[in-house]
Structure 1
Amino acid sequence: MKNVTIADVAKQAEVSKSTVSQYLNKRYDYMGEKTKQRIQEAVEKLGYQPNIVARSLKQKATKTIGVIVANILHNFTTKVVRAIEDVCHASDFHTIICNADDDPVKEKYYIEMLRAKQVDGLIIFPTGDNRDLYQKMLDSSYPVVFMDREVEGMDIPSIMLHNEKAAELAVEHFLEKGYRRIGMMTTSLINHTTPRVERVEGYKKALRRSGIPIYKDYIISGEPQSLQTELEELLHLERPPEGILAGNDLVLIEILKYAKQKGVRVPEDLAVIGIDDVSFASFYTPAITTVAQPTFKMGKAGAELLLNIVQKQEETTKQASLRFEPTLMIRDSV
């Protein structure tokens, strides 16, 4: 079967090709209802599908943005991506989602692949290890926004949480409840990932303000698969922590899995607070106290900023990073 063209639709609807083009591009404010109905009926009868590639070449825009996430398994990431997609859909933009697994090599591949596909801009949860590529995008004024993280020395706008404050809220709640031996567990700090580093710093600041010593043995970082072993060692110290702050949702899951397997009662044996308000936190037994991020607001802000840059309403280098406020969700695990 031959491809159905705009000319075929125009002939079927008994209108000009330019009228069909205006209809397909939703520029029909002054178009009569009967004309619109005839074109729509012709499109449906002929099974016309727009040639998106040809349209992109003509308009010099693909109406598509790429989103490169660090780890799609994070609850935070899933919600942020949903908000990004909602904003893009409402603006008639498509999204392509890529998962870099915190791997700079995969991130580099996806950046180059998406740019080769001529996406109009990128939202990146950056690994931080592709500075040359980030700089090339800056130098060429290519639209790019960082999400959840920033890269030192890169003048690219970032959408982030007030991470130090998130950890401080958690530690202060532990202290209000009478806990003094407080540990913190997070995923690997090797790559100096912004939220992880800042949350550890916020944990330390809150303890210092209260005059409580900081014990290096109480601060654990590592890959998710090693965290239960690390927790086992932590809880068998001569003076183990009474409470643990989980630096993100993946860490919280590992702590709760360990507690269930080992019969550790929460909060009687070990109090727990997690950063990231995971979906199960409110109905887990006991309900888990968390520090929530405004994930949908953050995703919406990132998408709107990128689309403004793409549509030349803003300039990338003139945009400041945005920080969002965390919220303590008090439940029963402390």
Structure 2
Amino acid sequence: MKKTTIADVAQYANVSNSTVSQYLNKRYEYMSVETRKKIEEAIEALQYRPNLMARSLKQKSTFTIGIIVANIIHDFSTKIINALEAEFDKEGFHMIVCNSADNPKKEKKHIETLLEKQVDGLIVFPTGENKNLYVRLHQQAIPIVFIDRFIEGVDIPAVLLDNFSAMNTAVETFRKHPLAIITTSLALPITPRVERLEGFRQALRNKNMLVDERYIKNGEPVEMEEIFDQLFALEQPPKGIIAANDRIFQELMIYIKKRNLRVPNDLQVIAIDDVPYANFLTPSITTLKQPILPMAQKSASLLFAKIKKEQIADEQKLYRFKPIVIHRDSTN
């Protein structure tokens, strides 16, 4: 069976070959809606499929972005991937998503694999343990943008939450004290974990409150019950807890139910990231929401500027976004 070509589509739509080519490359500036519709109908009728390899060779682009997520089970990860996909689709780009599971070796392997596939750029949630690799990639002018995290001493732009502002907002929101914060393990220098703990300390100092390290905890999710037991065994158990991510929040809610604690009477709760079920729980849980869409838009625009070798007007190392407070019943 003869393969359908651009010439076949052009003849069917009664337009030139170059007009079809412009349509396929999403260059619609001087193309009427009627012409676009005719080409679309011709492509559908003839079941035309572009030769992506030939297109890539001609334009020196695979129209593919590689994304390396730290841990795809996090609510923030899935939401930012969804928002990024919409931004890339506008430019005719596709995504390949890899999950490093916060494992530096997997992260390095994914980078090597994606570069072998000749992706046009990378968006990465870095583990913090592959600094030399990222320095080398930056020197090679590989387009890369970090999300959620950054690596000190690596000149790659990062888009992330303003974790210090988030902790200040959280501490200001609580009505009862003492306060505690729990995050996942600090075995790796992962930016949001480190910054949220330090931001919590700063927020307490700003209010002239005592910084007691017994109320500042980190660990793996499987260790959370033991960590919560330690907190509630203190002579003054916490009256408010910040769950620094959705994994910790989930473990905290399980513990609260198991111990028959009343929220907010016995314990006030604030969770980082507005997970869907926070609003459905009884009582509903106050959250600090990350502005997903603006963060995705900034990450995509930075990456496309690097791919196209354009000058970035507001070029800087870190692009921090303020959290959005969703006030609910758990802090009343």
TM-score (norm 2): 0.91
Q: Write out per-residue CA displacement over residues 106-126 of structure 1, whole angstroms, 9 at most, x where no aligned residue.
A: 111111111111111111111
Q: Write out per-residue CA displacement over residues 172-201 of structure 1, whole angstroms, 9 at most, x where no aligned residue.
A: 222xx1x22111100111212111111111
Q: Which amino acid aligns with 2:167?
A: A
Within 5 Å, give how 1:136-147 maps onto structure 2: 136-147=136-147
**CA, structure 1 residues 54+316, in 2 after alignment: closer, same or farther (shift >3 Å)?**
farther
**CA, structure 1 residues 221+312, in 2 after alignment: closer, same or farther (shift >3 Å)?**
same
Report deviation, 1:52. 0.8
Within 5 Å, give how 1:10-89 maps onto structure 2: 10=10, 17-27=17-27, 39-89=39-89
In 2, Cα distance between equivalents of 1:157 and 1:39: 40
Q: Which residue among 224, 233, 238 is the counterpart of 2:235?
A: 238
Q: SS in structure 2 opposite 1:269?
A: coil
Within 5 Å, give how 1:79-158 maps onto structure 2: 79-158=79-158
Aligned-CA RMSD value: 2.4
In 2, Cα distance between equivalents of 1:49 and 1:282: 45
Structure 1 unpaired stretches of 5+? none
In 2, Cα distance between equivalents of 1:214 and 1:30: 63
Q: Is the 2:270–2:287 Cα contact (8 Å) retained in structure 1?
A: yes
Q: SS in structure 1 opposite 2:95?
A: strand
Q: Which residue among 202, 207, 225 is the counterpart of 1:205?
A: 202
In 2, Cα distance between equivalents of 1:103 and 1:317: 32
Report deviation, 1:144. 0.6
Query: Identity, % of aligned pairs?
Result: 50
Q: Is the 2:148–2:160 Cα contact (8 Å) retained in structure 1?
A: yes
Q: Which residue among 302, 305, 309 is the counterpart of 1:305?
A: 302
Q: Which region of structure 1 is more displaced relative to structure 2, 296-305 or 1-10?
A: 1-10
Q: SS in structure 2 opposite 1:333?
A: helix
**CA, structure 1 residues 28+289, in 2 after alignment: closer, same or farther (shift >3 Å)?**
closer
Q: Which residue among 277, 280, 285 is the counterpart of 2:282?
A: 285
Q: Which amino acid aligns with 2:329?
A: D
Q: Is the 1:74–1:249 Cα contact (8 Å) retained in structure 2?
A: yes
Report deviation, 1:317. 12
Report deviation, 1:233. 2.6
Report deviation, 1:242. 1.7
Q: Is the 2:302–2:312 Cα contact (8 Å) retained in structure 1?
A: no
In 2, Cα distance between equivalents of 1:206 and 1:63: 44
Q: Write out per-residue CA displacement over residues 127-162 of structure 1, whole angstroms, 9 at most, x where no aligned residue.
A: 111122211221111111111111010011010111
In 1, Cα distance between equivalents of 2:304 and 2:105: 27
In 2, Cα distance between equivalents of 1:107 and 1:58: 31
In 2, Cα distance between equivalents of 1:194 and 1:72: 17
Partner of 1:256: 253
Q: Which amino acid aligns with 1:138?
A: H
Report deviation, 1:315. 5.9
TM-score (norm 1): 0.90
Q: SS in structure 2 opposite 1:48?
A: coil
Q: Write out per-residue CA displacement over residues 52-93 of structure 1, whole angstroms, 9 at most, x where no aligned residue.
A: 122101110112111111111211222212221111111222
**Count, aligned residues:** 331
**CA, structure 1 residues 317+30, in 2 after alignment: closer, same or farther (shift >3 Å)?**
closer
Q: SS in structure 1 opposite 2:183?
A: strand
Q: Which region of structure 1 is more displaced relative to structure 2, 227-236 or 106-115?
A: 227-236
